A and B are shown apart, each in its own frame.
Chain A
Amino acid sequence: MSGTVRFEGQNYPLNDGETVLDTLLRNGQPIAFSCRSGLCQSCLLQAVDGELPEAAQTGLKPTYRAQGLFLACQCRPAGTLCVRTPENAGIDTKAEIVELSRLNATVLKVRLRPSQTFSCRPGQYLTLLAPGPIARSYSIANDPEMEREIELHVRLLPAGKMSHWLEHQAVPGTQVTVRGPAGSCFYTGDDNRQWPIVLAGTGTGLAPLYGILQDALSNNHRGPIQILHGALRESDLYLQSELTQLAAEHDNLTYSTCVLQSADGAPDASGDIQERVLTVLKSMANDVRLYLCGAPEMVNPLKTRAFLAGVASRNIHADPFLPSVASGN
């Protein structure tokens, strides 16, 4: 038997196999969502009455769980669940867009000034909420607590909703809402900062890695650090001069790029970032910490391959940038 969801005074019975998100969307309710896989946290709702299944809160931080916040896309209640949107749960922060500039032809640098301190670690991700509502996850490329601004790198997709809004509607001064942070891709230091670090990402997967890198360097990490940026074409790379400069200033840092297609369009096998990372891992001590971000087609298989190659599961931190899923199951 499927349950019922109660939202804004109306009861909506769940059809067989449906989640709370499916049911509310089917009934035309404007609930924000994106990955539909229980990862991005765009569809967070708050339960005010009724029984929440465990699966609806898997992976949420304890403070969220305690407030009854849950993932609508993972929630299949047995009974009646009374829910509301979480605007008043104190998890949202207003922010003002202060900069929109290009990092390359298709990557936008977005800088936001939060109205109050946004506590997070560089490399975690937040949910950016724009009118619509459109909710999308973006990774944090700097240290917002130090800089008082949040830096995001957004790859502009031709038919992307958030892409379109940021490119054509948003201007410096526009107000947005940020929610979060979430995720475990961040630097953790203790007294011994000797372990090797490998940071590998494709496209805007560089955003969290750049944040983690700066965090590690400002914590005086002493072990070797390798950052690898993968892209389809040379023109998809960005921050090359900044990273080259950082590598020149830090003896323990190596920066390399993996480009799949040379300028004339010919495939270049040496640009396969998965093979490159596996080769790099061979030369590193086995307490290496590996961070993988960007295209799921790279992140997910590489995570398994690195694990099989001997990297401890607790030392692999990965954020696959799952795309939004429009409709259906």
Chain B
Amino acid sequence: MASLYERLGGAAAIDAAVDIFYRKMLADDRVSHFFDNTDMDKQIAKQKGFLTLAFGGPNNYTGKDMREGHRHLVAKGLNDTHVDIVIEHLGATLKELGVADSDIAEIAAIANSVRDDVLDR
């Protein structure tokens, strides 16, 4: 059976999702301040990394990377609520793109599985 990532359409699906997802994050005052938008291209590239991980695609992130990558955000107050918001926007993005509810649930579970790493606990 095709993997979740392949089912979604691979790299093309990431490209389609990243703008919608990142736009939702930037437009949401509860989380937008975590994103340094002085260099949007770099941020978009990083959010592609996030989506690839969540879609179960090929990535080399380790739990240690997730800890280190978000530690400066934890210092700024990153907590469970923010992770919930990310998962919520991710779900809404996928819904807009017509992804099946069962796949959305699987993706949310992958994102949720790194919660403790992201929050450095």
| Contact of A313 with B by CB under 8 A | yes
Q: B102 in the interface, Cβ–Cβ < 8 Å?
A: no
Interface of A is mostly: helix
Tell me which residues from 10 to 65 in chain B have a Cβ below 8 Å from any Cβ of chain A.
15, 18-19, 22-23, 26-27, 37-38, 40-41, 44
Q: How far in angstroms is the closest Cβ of chain A from B90?
A: 17
Q: Report yes or no: B26 in contact with A313, Cβ–Cβ below 8 A.
A: no
Residues in chain B near residue A300, CB distance under 8 A:
37-38, 40
Choose the segment among A60-68, A175-183, A226-234, A302-310 that binds chain B (4+ C-beta atoms closer than 8 Å): A302-310
Closest Cβ of chain B to A216, distance in Å, is 22
- Interface SS majority for chain B: helix
Segment 291-329 of A: residues with Cβ below 8 Å from B: 300, 303-304, 307-308, 310, 312-314, 316
Count of interface residues, chain A, beta-carbon cutoff 8 Å: 10
Judging by beta carbons under 8 Å apart, are B40 and A307 in contact?
Answer: yes
How many residues on the B side are at the interface (Cβ–Cβ under 8 A)?
12
| Contact status B18-A313, CB under 8 Å | yes
Minimum CB–CB distance from A151 to chain B (whole Å) comes to 27
Docked-complex contact B38 and A312, CB < 8 angstroms: no
- Selected from B27, B38, B40, the residue in CB contact (under 8 A) with A313 is B40
Determine whether the beta carbon of A304 is less than 8 Å from that of B40. yes
A308, B23: Cβ atoms closer than 8 Å: yes
Identify which of A304, A312, A314 gathers the most chain B CB atoms within 10 Å of its CB.
A304
25 contacts between A and B (CB under 8 A): A300-B37, A300-B38, A300-B40, A303-B40, A304-B26, A304-B37, A304-B40, A307-B19, A307-B22, A307-B23, A307-B26, A307-B40, A308-B23, A308-B26, A308-B27, A310-B23, A312-B19, A313-B18, A313-B19, A313-B22, A313-B40, A313-B41, A313-B44, A314-B15, A316-B40
B contact set with A: CB distance below 8 Å: 15, 18-19, 22-23, 26-27, 37-38, 40-41, 44
